[in-house]
Chains A and B, each alone.
Chain A
Amino acid sequence: GQSLEQPSEVTAVEGAIVQINCTYQTSGFNGLFWYQQHAGEAPTFLSYNVLDGLEEKGRFSSFLSRSKGYSYLLLKELQMKDSASYLCAVRDSGNTPLVFGKGTRLSVIA
C-alpha cells in the first residue's frame, strides 16, 4: 500500500519563505504531485515531480528525492492569499489513482 505524511499546520510571515514537507512510502513510484486547496474549494494543481531534483514555477518550487521518499514544496515571497491547504499526492505505478496526504494548512500572518 501507500502512505504519505505531511505536517498538519504551518505558520509563516508575509514576504517570507516556507517549506512544506511530504514523506511517502509506495511499492512503486510514478510521480508526486502538489495541490493547493482553499477552504471549501476544489484542489488546484501546483506541480509534478517524477525525477529527483527541483522544479521551479514562479514563486513555487517542488523538490523530490526518490531514494529518501521525500518531497517538499517551497513557497517564496509569501502573500496572504497563499493561506490554504497544500496536499501532496503520489501515483504508485502506471496509471493507478493518486493517493493524497491529509494536507498541510498554511497560515500566512502579517
Chain B
Amino acid sequence: EAQVTQNPRYLITVTGKKLTVTCSQNMNHEYMSWYRQDPGLGLRQIYYSMNVEVTDKGDVPEGYKVSRKEKRNFPLILESPSPNQTSLYFCASSSMISGVEQYFGPGTRLTVT
C-alpha cells in the first residue's frame, strides 16, 4: 500500500530536549516536505527536499533541521524545542511531475511544555 508514515504520532516533551520526528514514504517520490498546522494559520511549510541531499527552507524554518540521506526518509529534527513549536506536524511526498497530488502522512501532534 502506498503510504507516508510518521513516528511518533503523539509526543509530549519538555523545553530543550532534542527530538526527531521520522517520515518515510514507499512510493519512490523525489519530493518530500514538512508542514506545521496551527489554528487560524493553516498549513505552513517548514522545509522541503527535491531529492537526496537537496533540502531548502520553507516559510517557517526557524528552530528546525532536516536531512535527506535516503530517498524514502526525511526526518524533522528539533534541536532545542520550545513551547511555540507545539503544533500538529505533517510530512508529505509527491512525484516531481507537475500536477501530481501530494500524499500526506497521518500527522504528529507535538506538545512542548
B-contacting residues of A (Cβ < 8 Å)? 30-31, 33, 40-45, 48, 50, 87, 89, 91, 94-95, 97-103
**CB <8 Å contact, A97 and B33:** yes
Residue B43 CB within 8 A of the other chain: yes
**CB <8 Å contact, A100 and B43:** yes
What is the interface of chain B mostly: helix, strand, loop, or mixed? strand
**CB <8 Å contact, A42 and B50:** no
Partner of B104, one of A40, A44, A91, A94: A44
- Residues in B neighbouring A103, C-beta threshold 8 A: 42-43
Closest to A94 in B: B98
**CB <8 Å contact, A30 and B98:** yes
**CB <8 Å contact, B99 and A31:** yes
Residue B61 CB within 8 A of the other chain: no
**9 closest residue pairs by CB, A with B:** A102-B42, A45-B101, A42-B104, A100-B43, A97-B48, A43-B104, A95-B96, A31-B99, A100-B42
Partner of A42, one of B48, B98, B106: B106
Residue B74 CB within 8 A of the other chain: no
18 pairs from A and B in contact (CB 8 Å cutoff): A30-B99, A31-B99, A40-B107, A40-B109, A41-B106, A42-B90, A42-B106, A43-B90, A45-B101, A48-B101, A87-B42, A95-B98, A97-B33, A97-B48, A100-B35, A102-B40, A102-B42, A103-B42
Closest to A46 in B: B101
Residue B7 CB within 8 A of the other chain: no
- Residues in A neighbouring B103, C-beta threshold 8 A: 45
